[in-house]
Structure 1
């Protein structure tokens, strides 16, 4: 006898915080939803619960309007009738960093715990693909089930779901496994998260509805437990849902219909799971589809948003948080860190950071990014200054200028530092302020050297910046304005510190001091750069050939720009109907040397590219007729725009890669620009940086793929190797690439489109990204592949920089050099060093990107006991006191908690 089927009906509303309307427009409907919910919960005991979309910020957004409802809301959360978390917000998984994904869970779980609720479901209802390490992260957070809608089966226009014979899993229940072997039970919304929406109460309509719905769910269910999601995007509460359930029970006595929750559904599913569940491993990226609705091109929509996010994430993860380990007031630091993270994460929902909303949404995002960045920068400056004020900075020469160099990346550094220094200040209260600039200009420019804490000397290049206005903000007095004679100092700095600082001095050089021999990096007579590792030859068209001196391998014609028409939308790229493209290859470029000294050289390469002004007039007709992008045929206009493009190439002493900054005033619409890096055919796979993983991906798609483009996400870099040589291209906030023709890395630096592109007509003129745009890359040659050569470690260092504070000579008690910990671990990647959330310990995290067991060694003087920890910073077993030695399994994410 077959078991009686149970239909679990879960009321919910998938709440895109901002999307086709702005945040404040959506908030009105959120408040109405909550008001209806609270009334329903109070009046109807048969209304079991409501799922608040896996995020806690919905509660915050409601209570900002109705603060008097706080206790009522908290009561229903404690009672398990309003289900929140485990996330703070529903983030995009691929466009937010590894640590941002963890902070999202950390702060979300902090809230759920405080409100007396357990976050027992990894909820990704509409995430645009999910990284492969998600099961490991969830398991470390004691979550053993994940529910998701995308990544296994294709979805299209207006959330339409498609199925085919080569479905990745025969069931909506499956095992999902990370590269390290961690696995969770996966619940796929095989018929989407709206498959139980708007259930009829009237008998005839209800019968027709349920005959169809039961058949659809039974097709994929591995057990007798059927899941029906009663809601959709911004769906209001179905107020008569309990009456609809009573009607269904009358009509279908062989099925038990009940108002349920994920917790109930999962508990009953687990009791019936078959042994032959399909196991899906790694990334959920919808590769077994036609390729037209994977939404991967959100990685290149409004790139300026991704770049701002990258700056903010790097600032919080690699500067602000590590600096918190050096400050005296840990609680102040903890509170500010959480504030900035939450402000930043307001920009992380998938329709926000993906750049696929209306213009008003993204204008507000720009302001949030600016708030987060400016606030965090100021906080870092002031905290670093307070630390510096406690260091003994007395020098035998009164005119020596103390500099405190903070290293917060977690790894030893080798960096060319540029720092603006005020060599002479005159405050407004010292003399009439109008006379100060002339007084400062009288002083001759002095040359300097850097004297380090061990008395060693580092050569310094000095550039005069003239007289600048500034001000001090004392903690015990009114602001003090001044003028200062400023210089820019440049020097190569090496340090074994991981998280710490070093006190140094800029010391005026005596006139009789002998200048050391200077070997300049730019060779003007040959139009090439050269340092210890690479030679870069610039060609007449602005492209360049790169020679790796270690391997002797040469990479030709790098850096060509390619322009293609784009008649798609914010979600998906679609090449214009003409199918053509134009490049800068074989054009004419001009060069200008911007800087050339012992430590760094920069050359500006200027060239032009003429492109069609926009798509032809048929594109707007296709948009307004809701022609889905695969069927669009629009071409490009005959009118041309001349784009002036500036590429600044920079090579540093001892640098292992060439830094490239491309900038342009975009005056054209409906097009995409990519930078091309050919390497040569030979490899069938490549590597891309992902969330706690170097994902290995095929150069060719699955056989089901029909889209001419095969674009991918990357976090920091993409890498392709051929035979004995490889090339890695790192970016700052550049997340889209393609392996073109199976042998060329193509990185998108601009995509200009004019519509949102889902379920209706939503024009987005600001998504055309007219005006100034820029992109920063680093090109790293290496032998073999990116893992074997460890080139990925160079790529991870690309956006990181030391924090340098100028201070005064004064007595102090703090040491002149401080380093909190040292570590060794071949091939391991450090991703976090921060105070614990409770303020009592230090958190340090690594991941192993390789398939081999690696040894991790840690030494610290800031605490006695070292524990393994979860990603939620909970102590596990003790692994050492002062030092620890442990094995890191293949692909494992390991977190240590250090306590004094």
Structure 2
């Protein structure tokens, strides 16, 4: 006999074509139904969609029901968690996914309990790293819908493992989270059973009676009786929940074993090009994630070493506000304009909060340092690696000229980028009323200074009149050059000479624009299209070669059609103005910034990099690892014939870097905020900069036939998604002989993480918002420090450094090597350590840190290690 576990639930999109403010009203009244059904035993269980954020939102409006909610949660009638929000897995950082579960479980426990099952019923694809993330929280079971290929596993039940051997028993609700609703309103039992029995290989079956913002089915018990009475199969229907289902399922055996990511549209739409919708959101989210992970949390740990208590509760609230933007619809941008404006507003709020916290900690530390002097500049290295490349600083001085010196009084080389004369007195209506003694200078410079790992170091500004300074000077060269590359720009072609590989790469970077007849879910080529390539223009280029940072700047316009109609007729009647900047700074990276203003409709623009590496596969990073993907996916040519839901386009997500490699060399592209790539037939890496589209969903696309994605019954215009605005795109190119994921991860972190700094001065009170505010220094005077945490010789990669509580902090590291390694970390801040899980629970013996080292043996490939250090 097969046993069908029927569980009552709702799928509650936090926002979509409606805003969170609109859906909360529905939730307020919906929860009345839930409470009534559970208290009167109309339902034995009710599952609140695996995300506790909506319960927090609800109780803001109905706080009187808190004790009732707690009682139902404790009794395991109302099932909540484990997530804070229904996260996207493919374009959200690994640390954000971990925090989503951490704060989801923590918040659920405040209500009394949580459902110990991973549950992502609608995310647009599943990351290969999810099993090890779930295992890190003692979660061994997982439920999902989208992305599993029939070729990989036709069963609904299987064991899914990550590269480190972490494993979850997994159930694929391949008909969708809403299919079980049929037992409420459909008496055609044979058809209903035929569909949900497809792929069933075990005796226990899971059936979700849910749906988008679905009302409570008070008659569920009666309908279960009806199905039991009418079925002609050997089936027993029972009211159940997901935890009880897995307890029963685990008694069975011989599950198939599956590895890898799930990005196939064989059973359901997967939206392979959603990673480039609403680029503006994705860029800002990426920026905030880096600010929290690589700046704010490490700064709090630095502050701990100096006696500044970390505000972990404040940090939680900042993270939670960011996580509200990580639900699959929110993160991917497939929403109405009013919803996307709400997302923008929340992202801006989090950006301001994280920057303000960052600014406060920096100022508090620096203003508390013993023997500090006017014009001392304190620089923070928040990464556990040595930083050796030029540092960009903004210095405020009374005198126009100055020298920089290190703590030993030795002069430090720097180059002037720009200089501005500024008035600091009370503003007047005319400049003639200003006091000439109240002017000062703001000078932007590049400094040649090396920083030790995870350190706070001081340089001194000495103001000296009539001293010659090195200014960034325009040269007559037609190239820029450092120790790694020589980049030419002539005949409308960017050419890179890669010195390490002794290789010349022509047409190294260019822009490509084509029409987009799709929607916010998917790119779709128009039936009649004109693809345009732009190789820049030589007459607009300027070169700066005689400085620490070599710079090439190109200003021009890219002529494209205004809209799809003009594209059909091949009329180039719109100019996209842009500035392309390429920098070399002896880091091994070719640092590229592109700023443009989009003034055209319904098109896709990509930056294409000539990798000059022959390979059938690409390698991209994932939340806690890397993955190899086919440049031409399977079934690209016959997907319609075999009945797949959409084309398995060769368009893929990445977080921070993508690479092509072979036995001789490798090419890597790292980005800040760009999340989508495709490997073109000529082994060029195409980064999707942005997609400009005007509808939430459209039907019958070339790559996605059938009904519209999103809202099936209404065209919802989204003119804001045309992105008619100024945008900046940041990426870096790197050529090497070998592909080393650990090295690339480190290089990415150094490339993407700026160096916080603070100048002790009272001339400029607006270096940041908090500079104007007064504050007391810490009661105990501090000293600068060097090298608190050092990964320079470690075989493990940093994921995060974060405060745990007032007396401890955490390190999360991962083995990105292709084999098992022994890991060693140099720790100069802390007395004891223990291995913990991702809930910060102890799973190892507390040990003393001896000789400033923590040694970890036999770290498996891909394994995540969490360490708690007691200070």
| TM-score between both structures, scaled by the size of structure 2 | 0.89
Which residue pairs with 1:438 in the alignment?
Answer: none
**1:265 equivalenced with 2:236 (yes/no):** no
Q: Deviations over 1:503-559 (max 9, x none)?
A: 221123475x787xx7x9988333111112211112342x41112222212222122
Quick check: 1:125–1:150 contact (8 Å CA) kept in 2? yes
Residues 813/130 of structure 1: CA separation in 2 closer, same or farther (3 Å cut): same
Which residue pairs with 1:505 in the alignment?
Answer: 460
Which residue pairs with 1:184 in the alignment?
Answer: 168
SS of residue paired to 1:197: helix
Q: 1:393 Cα deviation (Å)?
A: 3.7
Picking from 785, 794, 802, the partner of 1:817 is 785
Quick check: 1:602–1:649 contact (8 Å CA) kept in 2? yes
**1:335 equivalenced with 2:309 (yes/no):** no
Which residue pairs with 1:236 in the alignment?
Answer: 215
Measure the CA separation in 1 of the matches of 2:308 and 2:251.
46
**1:495 equivalenced with 2:451 (yes/no):** yes
Quick check: 1:168–1:288 contact (8 Å CA) kept in 2? no
**1:846 equivalenced with 2:788 (yes/no):** no
Q: 1:865 Cα deviation (Å)?
A: 1.1
Which residue pairs with 1:64 in the alignment?
Answer: 60
Picking from 400, 415, 418, the partner of 2:392 is 418
Quick check: 1:503–1:817 contact (8 Å CA) kept in 2? no
Measure the CA separation in 2 of the matches of 1:234 and 1:468.
57
Measure the CA separation in 1 of the matches of 2:801 and 2:440.
36
Which residue pairs with 2:517 in the alignment?
Answer: 567
Which residue pairs with 1:211 in the alignment?
Answer: 190
Measure the CA separation in 2 of the matches of 1:496 and 1:199.
64
5 Å matches for 1:148-167?
148-153=144-149, 166-167=150-151
Measure the CA separation in 2 of the matches of 1:316 and 1:897.
19
**1:700 equivalenced with 2:635 (yes/no):** no
Q: Deviations over 1:809-859 (max 9, x none)?
A: 9997312324422235555321100111x4331101111122212232123
Which residue pairs with 1:161 in the alignment?
Answer: none
Q: 1:680 Cα deviation (Å)?
A: 3.2
Which residue pairs with 2:754 in the alignment?
Answer: 801
Which residue pairs with 1:654 in the alignment?
Answer: 586
Q: 1:592 Cα deviation (Å)?
A: 4.7
Quick check: 2:474–2:545 contact (8 Å CA) kept in 1? no
Q: 1:454 Cα deviation (Å)?
A: 4.1
Residues 505/616 of structure 1: CA separation in 2 closer, same or farther (3 Å cut): same
Quick check: 1:826–1:854 contact (8 Å CA) kept in 2? no
Q: 1:288 Cα deviation (Å)?
A: 5.8
Picking from 682, 685, 710, the partner of 1:745 is 685
**1:348 equivalenced with 2:326 (yes/no):** yes
SS of residue paired to 2:302: coil
Measure the CA separation in 2 of the matches of 1:200 and 1:287.
28
What 5-or-longer segments of structure 1 have no aligned partner?
154-165, 425-443, 472-481, 618-634
Which residue pairs with 2:179 in the alignment?
Answer: 195
Which residue pairs with 2:258 in the alignment?
Answer: 280
Q: Deviations over 1:126-152 (max 9, x none)?
A: 111111111111112111011110110
Q: Deviations over 1:736-771 (max 9, x none)?
A: 100011511000112111111122321111111112
**1:613 equivalenced with 2:575 (yes/no):** no
Measure the CA separation in 1 of the matches of 2:61 and 2:460.
53
Which residue pairs with 2:23 in the alignment?
Answer: 26
**1:893 equivalenced with 2:864 (yes/no):** yes
SS of residue paired to 2:389: strand
**1:465 equivalenced with 2:420 (yes/no):** yes
Residues 742/263 of structure 1: CA separation in 2 closer, same or farther (3 Å cut): farther
Q: 1:466 Cα deviation (Å)?
A: 1.6
Quick check: 1:546–1:554 contact (8 Å CA) kept in 2? yes
Which residue pairs with 1:736 in the alignment?
Answer: 676
Quick check: 1:389–1:812 contact (8 Å CA) kept in 2? no
Q: Deviations over 1:273-321 (max 9, x none)?
A: x31x2221121111767xx932121110010100000110000001111
SS of residue paired to 1:485: strand
5 Å matches for 1:410-559?
410-424=384-398, 445-449=400-404, 451-462=405-416, 463-467=418-422, 484-498=440-454, 500-509=455-464, 524-541=475-492, 543-559=493-509
Q: 1:258 Cα deviation (Å)?
A: 1.9
Q: 1:270 Cα deviation (Å)?
A: 1.1
**1:769 equivalenced with 2:748 (yes/no):** no
Which residue pairs with 1:95 in the alignment?
Answer: 91
Residues 881/795 of structure 1: CA separation in 2 closer, same or farther (3 Å cut): closer
User: Higher mean Cα deviation, 401-410 or 593-602?
Assistant: 593-602
Measure the CA separation in 1 of the matches of 2:43 and 2:780.
65
SS of residue paired to 1:550: coil
Which residue pairs with 1:301 in the alignment?
Answer: 277
Quick check: 1:522–1:528 contact (8 Å CA) kept in 2? no
SS of residue paired to 1:109: helix
SS of residue paired to 2:349: helix
What 5-or-longer segments of structure 2 have no aligned partner?
427-437, 640-646, 698-708, 763-776
Measure the CA separation in 1 of the matches of 2:410 and 2:811.
31
Which residue pairs with 1:379 in the alignment?
Answer: 357
Measure the CA separation in 1 of the matches of 2:529 and 2:250.
51
Measure the CA separation in 2 of the matches of 1:671 and 1:726.
31
Measure the CA separation in 1 of the matches of 2:836 and 2:684.
41
**1:41 equivalenced with 2:38 (yes/no):** yes
Which residue pairs with 1:141 in the alignment?
Answer: 137
Measure the CA separation in 2 of the matches of 1:487 and 1:414.
22
Quick check: 2:453–2:792 contact (8 Å CA) kept in 1? no
Measure the CA separation in 1 of the matches of 2:423 and 2:191.
73
SS of residue paired to 1:228: strand
Q: 1:61 Cα deviation (Å)?
A: 1.5
The total of aligned residue pairs comes to 815
Q: 1:266 Cα deviation (Å)?
A: 0.9
Quick check: 2:125–2:263 contact (8 Å CA) kept in 1? yes
SS of residue paired to 2:843: strand
Residues 589/709 of structure 1: CA separation in 2 closer, same or farther (3 Å cut): farther
Measure the CA separation in 1 of the matches of 2:131 and 2:575.
46
Q: 1:881 Cα deviation (Å)?
A: 1.9
Quick check: 2:8–2:210 contact (8 Å CA) kept in 1? yes
Measure the CA separation in 1 of the matches of 2:143 and 2:659.
31
Which residue pairs with 1:628 in the alignment?
Answer: none
Q: 1:649 Cα deviation (Å)?
A: 2.2
Quick check: 1:641–1:668 contact (8 Å CA) kept in 2? no
SS of residue paired to 1:92: coil
Quick check: 1:564–1:582 contact (8 Å CA) kept in 2? yes
